Amino acid sequence: MNQLLQQVKSVPGVSGILVLDKNNSTTYQLLPASFSVEVIKKLAVRLKEIASTWAELEQTEIKFESGYAKLVHTTSSVAFLLAKPEIYFPDLNLVLKSVLPQIEKKISRANPFRDVEPEQLYAVSKVNVDLLVATINLVAGKYRDLLGAYQATQNLRKSKDKILNIFPYLTNFYVDNQARVSFLKSRQEIDQARIQEAFSNWIYSFKAYCDHAAPAMQDADIKELTAELKAELAKQGFYHWYEALTVS
């Protein structure tokens, strides 16, 4: 995703871009340093409100003393762009015409259940937890064999803590001193609709931490690491979530 955002930001006069995924309120951005996390959150909320009142493919440009803001509403996202006074909109629009469909495609891959009937989603969700715990334990076990239990455990806990503010229901999962994850069923209610997204992020972040200490594993494909569970994971759409992270 960052490569696509960079293509837009590289247009002369563009100073920043943010894309809001309307389906799960995720944002992707390359913005000036003056945009704090809190400002970005408020901007995302406002963009979602605007999107609810706009028709698809609607767009507008707003002129300020210091430059322009441009909003583009697509099927799955809202793009917010900041530009300097010297921006040449025909060039920008040409790039957007190419890049926005690619962004839409990536967002669609990141939301594989968007068009699934509720009954189908419930049937999938019922098997999520046990399978996902087995998956992260399978991956962690392979890194534990390389790095040892201590480092694998530290990386599991660190990667979990990194995303806990986004997926607070991961407090349901405990990491023991042998780099094994277990499910604590009595704690916070799990968001079934996002549990695969949460585990994809957790495994992705864990692998990134481990790969610093085990460079030979950097090119290891997630399907190779989870070969023993590949059929079940493919059936419930796990790889769609994970692969969306690897191309972002």
The domain made up of 2-110 is a member of CATH 3.20.10.10: no
Please indicate, yes or no, whether the overall pTM of this predicted structure exceeds 0.75. no
Quote the pLDDT of residue 187.
Answer: 54
Query: What does the alpha-carbon distance between residue 37 and residue 35 come to, in Å, rounded to a whole number?
Result: 7
Distances (CA, A) of 134 to 9, 138, 183, 229, 232: 41, 6, 10, 8, 11
pLDDT given at position 189: 66
Where do the domains of the chain lie? 2-110, 118-246
CA dihedral 210, 173, 114, 107 (to 10 degrees): -30
For tokens 């900041």, the residue is 82
Contacts of 42 (CB under 8 A, 6+ apart): none
Q: How far apart are CA 73 and CA 48, in angstroms?
A: 10
* pLDDT at res. 209: 94
pLDDT the model gives residue 36: 87
Q: Which residues of the chain have pLDDT under 70?
A: 110-127, 185-189, 191-193, 246-248
Sorted by sequence, the CB contacts under 8 Å of residue 84 that are 6+ apart come out as 13, 14, 15, 66, 67, 68
Confidence (pLDDT) at 26: 83
The three-point CA angle 79-81-85 to 5° equals 155
Q: Are 91 and 12 in contact (CB under 8 A)?
A: yes
